[in-house]
Amino acid sequence: MQIKLQFLGAARNVTGSRHLVEANGARILVDCGFYQERQFAERNWEPLAVPPNTIDAVLLTHAHLDHCGLLPKLVRDGFKGRIYCTAATAEIVQIILLDSAHIQEEDAKYKRKRHKREGRKGPYPEVPLYTAADAEACFPLFSKVKYRQSVDLGSDLETTFYDAGHVLGSSIIRVKVRHGGQERIILFSGDIGRPDRPIVCDPTVFDAADYVFIESTYGDRVHQGPEDTKKEIAEVINSTKKAGGKIIVPSFALERSQEVLYYINELLLEDAIPRLTVFLDSPMAASITKVFKHHPELFDEEMTEFMDRHESPFNFPGLKIVQSTKESKAINRIRGTIMVIAGSGMCTGGRVKHHLVNNITEPRNTIMFVGYQATGTLGRLIVEGKKEVRILGQQYPVRARIARINGFSAHADRDELFEWLTELKTPPKKLFVVHGEDKSAQHFGDYVRRKTGWDVIVPTYKDHVTLD
Ligand SMILES: [Zn+2]
């Protein structure tokens, strides 16, 4: 038995997940993610460590850009195999990749213009990393898999997907390698959700695996708890209503926007907040919400019960889906308390920037943050309490109330990750800690080693390991 692993991303950093498995003469790539951290952006442009046409299949854990965002490049560069993922993931990935291609095309255009004006050349080519046509070329390659149904990959390799409870359709992937009468199980955690979150199910646990990859986004942190997310949202809405202001919610299009709608609907049904108009001002979030509606089989018990009693948690009196830019601009002219949910989640682009420009200087308004704000983003500056911020090229004083709703994390914390691992009845031969900042990954690796004595590896970019 010989299995070779290569860590091609999310190794001592969070984004760009790509893990290469070589066994029985076949090559399988688990995830093909985009690097979102600025300092690693050049890795998006580098050729893959092995020629894409030598890869037999891609297994996709979920639809976040840092797990699927380099598929168009892989396919353009020669990959011809199948891309296995759940049906919900396949549907959401298409929306995400087209949006990403659009951003790449806009970026290249903008850079060309700017470099021409400044008479210089940038570090990367002034062409899009990939185009909408490159993204579309991936779509026929998707093979949809169901949770808990094994798929034969050929070469005595087999894979099974299990619910990861992170975002709709997200998976933990199990790969079985058979050779010379023996078999080995490799488990890829993907991103692991948290127990008891709305909409999606709790993460699946496992009692055996030979080799395990585990994410460590929050490997050095323990979430505060118990948080009462719904109560916090109600407080923001009620106090802003009293002040006569507006509520702007910078939000991620996948999962977070739907969770916010879910909570607001519940609060309305409980009469905990007054009726108000809520604008979902993100065409991408609206498209993704439609995918949620196609897949009620993926909802957890609470959500299924909710669906039995009420029509849809993503639809309530007062909810308005905004498509065109013209409609989006018209929101500014509305008086009185309204809520606007718009992307991007960290205020790095999208329509939320315009809503911030129009609302951040008014003390009656509230900017309500519901997601992680990475270092260096506009969102981070605002939550850190900057008195003045630059938006769309101009300085604005921050006078609106800044609220942060805790309890929205889609990632398990250190204790939850550890609990998930220790469901294994026998220690794995090796544990690989990936998908975490250096500090977080190392902390989690040390923690597991100290508590269990397991063989723990915290790989770095392009590391190889040969397993038996
Ligand atoms: Zn994710």
- Per-residue pLDDT tens for 10-44? 999 999 999 999 999 999 999 999 998 778 889 99
175 Cβ contact list (under 8 Å, min separation 6):
21, 28, 30, 59, 157, 158, 159, 185, 186, 187, 188
Residue 195: name the closest of 224, 166, 170, 220 by CA: 166
The tokens describing 129, both together, are 């990393």
CA dist., res. 254 & res. 100, Å (int): 14
The pLDDT value given to residue 205: 97
The pLDDT value given to residue 187: 98
Strands (E), 266-314: 277-280
- Measured in angstroms, how far is the CA atom of residue 240 from the centroid of ligand 1? 32
- Measured in angstroms, how far is the CA atom of residue 184 from the centroid of ligand 1? 26
The pLDDT value given to residue 215: 97
- Measured in angstroms, how far is the CA atom of residue 30 from the centroid of ligand 1? 14
- Measured in angstroms, how far is the CA atom of residue 249 from the centroid of ligand 1? 20
CB 155 within 8 A of CB 25: yes
**Residue 156 φ/ψ region, left for φ over 0, alpha for ψ in the -120 to 50 degree band, beta for the rest:** left
**Protein residues placing their CB within 5 Å of the ion ligand 1:** 64, 191
Dihedral sign, CA of 171, 172, 177, 178? Answer: negative
CA dist., res. 55 & res. 74, Å (int): 10
DSSP letter string over 327-369?
HHHHGGG--S-EEEEES-TTSSSSTHHHHHHHHTT-TT-EEEE
Helical (H) or strand (E) element with 116: helix 87-118
Per-residue pLDDT of the chain (468 residues; tens, 9 = 90+): 899 999 999 999 999 999 999 999 999 999 999 998 778 889 999 999 999 999 999 999 999 999 999 999 999 999 999 999 999 999 999 999 999 999 889 888 888 887 888 888 777 778 999 999 999 999 999 999 999 999 999 999 999 999 999 999 999 999 999 999 999 999 999 999 988 888 999 999 999 999 999 999 999 988 876 568 889 999 999 999 999 999 999 999 999 999 999 999 999 999 999 999 999 999 999 999 999 989 999 999 988 888 888 878 888 999 999 999 999 999 999 999 999 999 989 898 889 999 999 999 999 999 999 987 877 789 989 999 999 999 988 999 999 999 999 778 788 999 999 999 999 999 999 999 999 999 999 999 999 999 999 999 999 999 999 998
The tokens describing 153, both together, are 């990959």
- Measured in angstroms, how far is the CA atom of residue 63 from the centroid of ligand 1? 7
- Measured in angstroms, how far is the CA atom of residue 314 from the centroid of ligand 1? 21
Instruction: Give the other-Cβ count within 10 Å of 320's Cβ.
Output: 13
- Measured in angstroms, how far is the CA atom of residue 442 from the centroid of ligand 1? 20
- The strand pairing partners of 394, in sequence order, are 391
- The strand pairing partners of 218, in sequence order, are 413
**Cα radius of gyration (the chain):** 23
Q: What is the pLDDT of residues 302-314, one digit of tens each?
A: 888 888 888 788 8
CA dist., res. 119 & res. 396, Å (int): 31
The tokens describing 251, both together, are 């939000």
- Measured in angstroms, how far is the CA atom of residue 326 from the centroid of ligand 1? 32
- pTM for this model (two decimals): 0.91
